[in-house]
A and B are shown apart, each in its own frame.
Chain A
Amino acid sequence: MPILLARGLTKTFGDFEAVKGIDVEVAKGEAFGFLGPNGAGKSSTMKMVAATSPRTGGELSMFGLDPDVDGAAIRARLGSCPQQDNLDEELTVEENLHVYGRFFGLPRAVIRERTEELLDFAQLTERRRDKVEPLSGGMKRRLTIARALVNDPDVLLLDEPTTGLDPQARHVLWDRLFRLKRRGVTLILTTHYMDEAEQLCDRLVVMDHGRIVAEGSPRALIQEHSTREVLELRLPVDGHDESDGGHTELAHLVEGVGERVEALPDRLLIYADHGDAALETVTDRGLQPVSALVRRSTLEDVFLHLTGRTLVD
């Protein structure tokens, strides 16, 4: 039985359709990601999965239970780490763990025992008696995650777990999440960071405007929606209109090179399985790039290809 099963799941706020009928299945022990730009419907989906927001339509079950009927029972088996930290900053680190454990009705002795492990896990043992307010963003995030583990959940839900953290803090957090995954905790997360999705997710769906536009492992998605490599090219733009960087008008010069060409204002992206060969073709045509970079295709290329480059505010 899948841990999470959604069929034609929808969520509407007034006239706004945030989630427009998605099908998702997550198996036990999987690390599953919802990837998408802001406003794609990731967080709305997450809240329905967390049994904190009722669905508008479709089917949804967690552990085989219906959130509309057994919300409290589902939440008892979930750890939920929301986008915005909601710790009590006036309390100390360990008091936050205690208070949260009590919400689940855990006996105090059990909480005390778990607090030791969780503080160690979150690398906060030395700060245990400090108030939360002055802690760094990374520490607060780790505490929020540790708190979500106080009920020893089968599934950990993470809504944009590393947004706003510096690179060091993100890597520490990823390391912690890996450990959980190894222990068999099912991870369901949302993110708009491609590296995060590639690092953490066995499988993911790309969401855009409330719909799922692609699904698969990071590697499969790259294979399916991008090429192995990308050649990033800057050409001299004199003589052309430079007001927008000029490269859109240069795209025709490299037509036919690689599988696909995308013109950005300041550079051309040539999608090809062999970037160096593509670069050779370019120079053979007599073009002299100002700079050329061959890199591996990433989920970011898939993401931008599928959801477009238009800014979502």
Chain B
Amino acid sequence: MTSEGVAPLVPPGPRRVGLAAEYFLRVWRRTWVGSVFSRFGGPLLMLLALGIGLGSLVDDSSGGVGGVGYLFFVAPALIAVQGMMDAAQESMWPVYGYFTWNRMYHSMLATSLTVTDVVLGHLSVIAMQSAIASAAFVLVASLFGAFASWWALLSIPVGVLTCLAFATVLFGVTSRARTDGVFNVVFRLVITPLMLFSGVFFPVDLLPTGMQVLAWVTPLWHGVELSRDCATASADVMSLVHLAVLLVFVAGGLVLALTGMRKRLVS
């Protein structure tokens, strides 16, 4: 309440997104320890049980998948799965909470921040969390010999991109949710089936055509394939297609997220 005039108005742009992100970063710093096991432990257990346990059977009986050892087949895919899971954890209940429970989104929008700043700020912190989780996974999985080349590092941004493809779309869903009951449905009917049938544990070619189509039109399969192409240094034209599809999901998801949030928060 010193009388040096009003708050300097921060012009629209990355600085304002950064101001919004600062808050979500603070929340993350407060809560990350509690979520380490569910976020990071999950994929790691899968790597041990499936990549190494089940993988040794697969490798013994059929020499891996398409000539690639099962561990090398599964590990990069799990990075994409982890991206999807991070998005699902961060973009439903917490987002819903910010406009219904503690109403912090409303707090932010009473200041010089706008819906775009808040949404982009929140998504960028989710992307950062995903980057850290993906990097940690690559590091630990490497200790188990799950990655053979430095190209595996490229799987980290792919994990983040997969995370954002889901996070943006789910922001759009959450902003339109009337109750939080819908999130369990999303988990059961979307997230879990996608994890099982998007070529993570076996190639989608083994699925009936109808289900393959489902993999083609959802983000996870593209993330899985792109991550695998990176980690095994076998990128080709299809890799670019996967990348393009993920980017389209992020762009479309952003539109959904921004329109939904604007409608919900600025009515």
Contact = CB atoms under 8 A, between A and B. Distances in A.
A53 interface: yes
Interface in A91-122: 91, 95, 99-100, 102-106, 113-114, 117-118, 121
A153 B2 CA distance: 10
Contacts of B1: 114, 117-118, 121, 149, 152, 183
Contacts of A153: 6
A151 B9 contact: no
B111 A104 contact: yes
B105 to A, nearest CB: 9
B201 to A, nearest CB: 38
A102 B19 contact: yes
Nearest to A107: B8
Contacts of A151: 6-7, 111
B267 interface: yes
Contacts of B106: 52, 82, 86
B35 interface: no
Interface residues of A, number: 40
B2 A86 contact: no
Interface string B1-23: 11111111110100110011011
Given A86-B103, A104-B111, A154 B6 contact: yes
B243 to A, nearest CB: 35
Query: Secondary structure at chain B's binding surface: helix, strand, loop or mixed?
Result: loop
Contact of A105 (B19, B109, B110): B19
B104 A72 contact: no
A182 to B, nearest CB: 12
B107 interface: yes
B112 A105 contact: yes
A283 interface: no
A72 B19 contact: no
Interface in B101-128: 102-104, 106-114
A54 interface: yes
A84 interface: yes
B30 interface: yes
A96 to B, nearest CB: 9
A152 B5 contact: yes
B8 A152 contact: no
B143 interface: no
B23 A72 contact: no
A124 B132 CA distance: 38
On chain B, which size bracket covers the interface?
Answer: 20 to 34
A247 interface: no
A52 B109 contact: yes
Nearest to A157: B110
A117 B110 CA distance: 22
A63 to B, nearest CB: 10
B178 interface: no
A89 B109 CA distance: 18
A67 to B, nearest CB: 11
Nearest to B109: A52
Interface string A70-99: 011101111010101011111100010001
Interface in A53-71: 53-54, 71
A299 interface: no
B102 A76 contact: no
A102 B267 contact: no
A72 B9 contact: yes
A68 B92 CA distance: 30
B26 interface: yes
A84 to B, nearest CB: 6
A95 B29 CA distance: 14
Given A82-B106, A90-B30, A100-B107, A105 B23 contact: no
Nearest to A78: B110
A308 to B, nearest CB: 29
A103 B111 contact: yes
A278 interface: no
B110 A82 contact: yes
B266 interface: yes
B8 A53 contact: no
B267 A88 contact: no
A77 B6 contact: yes
Given A52-B266, A77-B7, 12 more contacts: A13-B267, A52-B110, A53-B267, A71-B114, A72-B113, A75-B112, A89-B102, A95-B26, A99-B23, A103-B107, A104-B111, A105-B16
14 contacts: A52-B109, A52-B110, A71-B114, A72-B12, A72-B113, A72-B114, A76-B6, A86-B107, A90-B27, A102-B23, A104-B7, A105-B7, A149-B1, A152-B1
Sorted from nearest, which 9 A-B pairs have the closest CB atoms? A86-B103, A105-B10, A103-B111, A151-B7, A80-B110, A104-B7, A76-B112, A86-B107, A72-B112
